[in-house]
Structure 1
Amino acid sequence: MSETQAPTTSSETSSDIVGAILGVVENLDKHEDFMEPDIKRRKISKPADDKVHKLEDRLGGILCCAVCLDLPRAAVYQCSNGHLMCAGCFTHILADARLRDETATCPSCRVEISKTSATRNLAVENAVSELPSECQFCNKKFPRNSLEKHEEAECEERISRCMYDRIGCPWRGPLHERSAHENECVHPHRTGAEIMETLKVYDQKLLEERKLYDSIFDLLGYENISFNDVQLKPYRTDGFVHRLFYESSRFTAFNNQWVIKAGITNNQKDPTQCSERDISYQNVKYSGMKKVVLILKSKSATTLSLNYLVVNGPVGGINVKPRIYEFEFSEQNNESPYVTLPLPDTAECNRLLAAKTINLRLV
């Protein structure tokens, strides 16, 4: 016969219950020690592409150019329906339309655009200037209206040259490393004979610039000097491919009549298919009914040797670098060769093509 189990008392039962409760509470406390606050859990639960929802990124997608899809750096134009275009893309569209002899249209809604119908959006320009943009050197973000100053004068990571680069040091590096490099640079200790080859390159550049300006000053001392403010207007050829040319009205110089003619990217069959564009101009002497480019209308028994250059005139700014050309005109040879109009870049060429006329001064 088995022994009967002794009955448990109420005090033992109560102590077991209290111990179990304390164990549960202790486990809960330990679990809460590893639990994260609600705010942190909410942050982790957000999507990984949270950057897309930032205000500046959303505004960047709204205010970007409809052509290049980048935020404008300067002027912002809009069509009559409000679609935005940066100044570079706007002039490029107008230039392409001029080359194709078509009406320029908005790339978004195909409404007609022109210099007169399109307007600048100053509100968008001001808003874009306040949006942050990343410095190309230090990768820090600054408002666009102060970014250029930061990159040019303030950023310690901007690329700088060694102070001895004029004598051949090729070092390029961050600004904050320049002092350390210059303290160890070996070029100051080179002999004069070793740095002469480097100095010859600088002397050659200075000599070319000096020769240009000396030539201009010499021309100002000539007995006969004439300058004319000329306006070039577009016209097209009647060939299979309608080439675009510009031509001025007749003007008088040295008791003769002349005409200037200009072409667009003469070495390209279709200038609309090339990204690099230039304008070439030609001076033709006009004789009888034959029209050629710098045109001398009256017949001349003797040769006429001319030095000529194009500069910015008082009307309609044109950004050209001075360059002198020389040609001898005669009754049999009344057309000068095409020479490149010395524009700084393709953007300036597009700006001139976007205008109805090109104004310049011929000296």
Structure 2
Amino acid sequence: MSNANPSVNNNELPPAAKRQRLSDVASKDESTLNEISTTMDSSEGEVGGSSGGGVSDLRERLHNILVCVVCREVPQPHDFFQCSHGHIMCEDCKTAVLAVAIFNKTRACCPSCRSLIRNYDQEQNLVVRQTLWELPISCPSCNDQFSDRKDLSRHLEFVCEGRVVCCKYHCLGCSWKGPYKDSVSHDSDCRFPQKQGKEILDILLHVEDRELEAQKPVLQLHRVLSASRVEFFTLRMKWIHRSEGLHPRTLESETIRAFEEYWVLRLRLKRAGEKITVSGQLLLSTTPRVSLMVDHLIQMPQSVCSAKQHHDIRPRIYRHIFDSTGKCANRQELPLAGPQALYRLFAMTRIQLRLWMFLHY
């Protein structure tokens, strides 16, 4: 039997207390904020026994919850992950943690709670992602705040006084770059418009040399596309153990067949102090009947890599003549775009590379 008083109308009951939304808090004036601060502090003290600093303290606590536990920066809404206990890491920091663990032959752990981190089970938190989309974003040059990231892009490209621009005489060789607000004063003081004709001619000849240098990759591409035969493979790399007589940090592909011969691609990880480099080497497993002039190119396969990884390996073509006495191409450093490219490569669940081979008779 119910103990409720039948004379009480449920419609007359007071509504349940609700926390203020961030958007509501941000739109209040200062006096209202103080009232909300007092109310929230008293209610939090009753429930949790804690005393806070009001709205500003609430914002600070929310900020501390949403920042990456490694770099302490607020991540992009589409660019973060969480450990099994919910601690937030931006993608760059996550890949760095995974890669460094591989370099050091240790387990990758969350820096906050030490829970195990694996690349294949990293997920996003929907609530955190939606909250990050609601947060205002600041311009890195002038600290103006924007609620829409598209507005920030337009601001950075056309409006911001702190955006970096080149001198308008850069075609003559002026290398000045600086904030847009300083460009007018620099242009008036730039010495390049006052140069004599002979000096300008020398500058233009130097510019022409640089353009010819920039065309070399196109000429290389034309050369390899004129090859007699072209093969490409997506290679799955695996670690080779020390007991096999190789360098202890060596990755090797499965054996592939191209141009009626068998080949293997090897990568060697080398660490000198804080610097880590990766070198690649193409090896011929069989003895060829004739000499083979082969160009090869290593890329990231788009089918298995993230959007950030598409250009992590800079295009570079290597040539070697393989014969019975020269079955190993020269070991060359892999042209990675930077440290993050190195981390993303070794943080892959399965390290895979695209190998192009071009045979010239």
- Scaled by the length of structure 2, what TM-score is found? 0.73
- The match for 1:284 is 283
The letter of the residue matching 2:290 is T
Match 1:95 to one of 84, 93, 99: 99
The farther-off stretch of 120-129 and 59-68 is 120-129
Partners of 2:303 and 2:253 in 1: how far apart?
Answer: 15
**1:173-193 residue CA offsets vs partner (Å, 9 max, x unmatched):** 432453455456443343332
Partners of 1:144 and 1:127 in 2: how far apart?
Answer: 13
Task: Summarize the Cα distance change of 1:196–1:124 in structure 2 as closer, same or farther, 3 Å threshold.
Answer: farther
**1:83-124 residue CA offsets vs partner (Å, 9 max, x unmatched):** 111111111111122223333222222221112222122432
Which has more radius of gyration?
A: 1
Match 1:159 to one of 137, 159, 164: 164
**1:150-182 residue CA offsets vs partner (Å, 9 max, x unmatched):** 333331222212211121234434324534554
**How do 1:1-363 residues align onto structure 2 when only pairs under 5 Å count?**
53=56, 55-73=58-76, 75-143=79-147, 145=149, 146-179=151-184, 181-182=186-187, 185-238=190-243, 243-264=248-269, 266=270, 268-269=271-272, 274=274, 276-286=275-285, 297=286, 299-317=287-305, 318-319=310-311, 320-363=313-356
The letter of the residue matching 2:293 is S
Task: Summarize the Cα distance change of 1:54–1:130 in structure 2 as closer, same or farther, 3 Å threshold.
Answer: farther
Structure 1 unaligned segments of length 5 or more: list them. Answer: 1-38, 43-49, 287-296
The letter of the residue matching 1:218 is R
**1:4-27 residue CA offsets vs partner (Å, 9 max, x unmatched):** xxxxxxxxxxxxxxxxxxxxxxxx
The letter of the residue matching 2:62 is L
The letter of the residue matching 2:162 is E
SS at match of 1:116: helix
Contact 1:307 1:327 in 2 (8 A): yes
Partners of 2:163 and 2:208 in 1: how far apart?
Answer: 28
Partners of 2:104 and 2:185 in 1: how far apart?
Answer: 57
Partners of 1:308 and 1:349 in 2: how far apart?
Answer: 20
Task: Summarize the Cα distance change of 1:149–1:238 in structure 2 as closer, same or farther, 3 Å threshold.
Answer: farther
**1:217-246 residue CA offsets vs partner (Å, 9 max, x unmatched):** 122112222222222223342499983221
**1:50-107 residue CA offsets vs partner (Å, 9 max, x unmatched):** 8992554332211111122221135111111111111111111111222233332222
For the aligned residue pairs, the C-alpha RMSD in angstroms reads: 3.2
Contact 1:160 1:175 in 2 (8 A): yes
Partners of 1:149 and 1:57 in 2: how far apart?
Answer: 29
- Scaled by the length of structure 1, what TM-score is found? 0.73
- The match for 1:30 is none
Partners of 2:189 and 2:102 in 1: how far apart?
Answer: 57
The letter of the residue matching 1:68 is C
The letter of the residue matching 1:326 is R
Partners of 1:61 and 1:231 in 2: how far apart?
Answer: 40
The letter of the residue matching 2:351 is I
What displacement does 1:204 show?
Answer: 3.1
**1:19-44 residue CA offsets vs partner (Å, 9 max, x unmatched):** xxxxxxxxxxxxxxxxxxxx8xx9xx
The letter of the residue matching 1:280 is S
SS at match of 1:67: coil
Partners of 1:254 and 1:153 in 2: how far apart?
Answer: 53
The farther-off stretch of 138-147 and 57-66 is 138-147
Task: Summarize the Cα distance change of 1:228–1:117 in structure 2 as closer, same or farther, 3 Å threshold.
Answer: closer
Structure 2 unaligned segments of length 5 or more: list them. Answer: 1-30, 35-52, 357-361
The letter of the residue matching 2:335 is P
Partners of 1:243 and 1:350 in 2: how far apart?
Answer: 19
The letter of the residue matching 1:285 is L
The letter of the residue matching 1:329 is F
Contact 1:250 1:258 in 2 (8 A): yes
The size of the alignment, in residue pairs, is 302
Task: Summarize the Cα distance change of 1:81–1:321 in structure 2 as closer, same or farther, 3 Å threshold.
Answer: same
The letter of the residue matching 1:108 is S
Contact 1:51 1:57 in 2 (8 A): no
